[in-house]
Structure 1
Amino acid sequence: MTQWTVHGTRRIYESEWMSVDLDDVEVPQGERFEHHVLRLPYPSTAVVLVHQDNVLLMWRHRFATDAWGWEIPAGRCEANETPETAAIRETEEETGYRPGRIEPLVTIHPLNGLSSHTTHIFTGSDPVKTGEHDPAEAQKIEWVPLNEIPTYIRKGLIPCGITLAALTTYLTLRTT
């Protein structure tokens, strides 16, 4: 097995949300160079909340890409919080629905060439409405039929990579 060797790390920026490092790396063929790495101190979670063959999606704008799109609820784990607890909390805070049950679906590293970040994705079921969605998180939320998700993807209505990974994994695994 060949893998990159990390000879050292120099921190360029740090906040409570992330750090940016320059890692001194060497590839197996011997070339050595500095590589930028984005490190997040806590993993994040996301939930594919399903009810009666519908999935709960949030229509929102992302300023960094200046793009609108449908997303599943997601957010970071807080210190000493399990991914399961964070997934339930974030779903309820963002959408006003609390999953009655959650099960692990998949764990991904969404930018593994540039970031150490991990996202734990869950399938949620038995939703209970506990309030209204957070307008700072989404313009609107909707229960979208699962059979319409491939059309949403083809039309570019789901630009979020984590949401794409979660929904395509869910749809693939539920049919196998």
Structure 2
Amino acid sequence: MVVTLERSENCRATLIFVDFRWDVAGSLDHVPHLDLSGTRGLAASTTVVSVSDTRWTILGERLVDENRHIRLSTADIRLPDGVEFTQYVARIPRCAMTLVLNDNRELLLMYRHRWIIDQWVWELPGGYVDHAEDVAVAAAREVEEETGWRPRAMQHLVTYQPAIGTLDHPQEVYLARGADLTDTRPDVNEAETIRWVPLDDAVRMIERGEIVGAATLIGVYRAITLTGL
């Protein structure tokens, strides 16, 4: 049994997960392996909630197809309640995207057609991290290859997984404050238009559905929290 303690500054109750019963905690001395250090004075607002081990068990995994950009397999899974099923699993190498922000609080975006969803969208520049390549170096390289701009100092913003129910695809978002225009000709296969867009305009583009990619959404909102816009 794993016992965990969750506490939120905005919540009235602390949740302690121990078994399958909901109960109001009086004395918690009966709970094995429970560390209440740092929680003195919270007993009156503590709720005991039930959870056993809810991990899914992988019984086996079979390769369906793979190339340098994806590994597709089927996995046999057993749920905690004993139900078994087979699910497709895709594993994709790490990608790195960069939100390039200039002194006018404009970000560098690319306008491109995404054929899978058949939609024209605005996106941050980015792409795959080559084997053994430094992630920040890869992120900066992709910016220059796709836009012709060379970002300056790179700051890591966030690492996330876009669809962890079926996909293992780690993605990194960086912030670059400023960039220098180079002689590099942007890749014609990557973008129709490259534009500096005010950060607050990018929020409205998200609301209008002109920005739909997870990396760009996350990057825009994270940049806003950092810049205080």
TM-score by length of 2: 0.73
Runs of 4+ in 1 over 6 A off after TM superposition: none
The alignment of Structure 1 onto Structure 2 pairs a total of residues equal to 175
Distance 2:205 2:156 in 1: 24
Q: Which of 113, 117, 122 is the equivalent residue of 1:70?
A: 122
Q: Which has the larger displacement, 92-101 or 164-173?
A: 164-173
- Residues 203 and 220 in structure 2, CA contact (< 8 A), matched pair in contact too: no
**Pairing 1:27-176 to 2, within 5 Å after superposition:** 27-40=79-92, 42-52=93-103, 53-131=105-183, 132-175=185-228
After TM superposition, give the deviation of residue 30 of structure 1 in Å: 1.8
Larger relative contact order (CA 8 Å, sep ≥ 6): 1
TM-score by length of 1: 0.94
> Between Structure 1 and Structure 2, whose CA radius of gyration is higher?
2
Structure 1 unmatched ranges of 5 or more: none
After TM superposition, give the deviation of residue 171 of structure 1 in Å: 1.6
Structure 2 unmatched ranges of 5 or more: 1-52
Superposition RMSD on alpha carbons, in Å?
1.4
- Residues 133 and 141 in structure 1, CA contact (< 8 A), matched pair in contact too: no
In structure 2, give the amino acid aligned to 1:48: L
Distance 1:110 1:98 in 2: 27
Identity %: 33
- Partner SS, residue 201 of structure 2: helix
Pair 11,103 (structure 1): closer, same or farther in 2 beyond 3 Å? same
* 1:12-42 Cα shifts (integer Å, max 9, x gaps): 11112111110111122221111110011x2
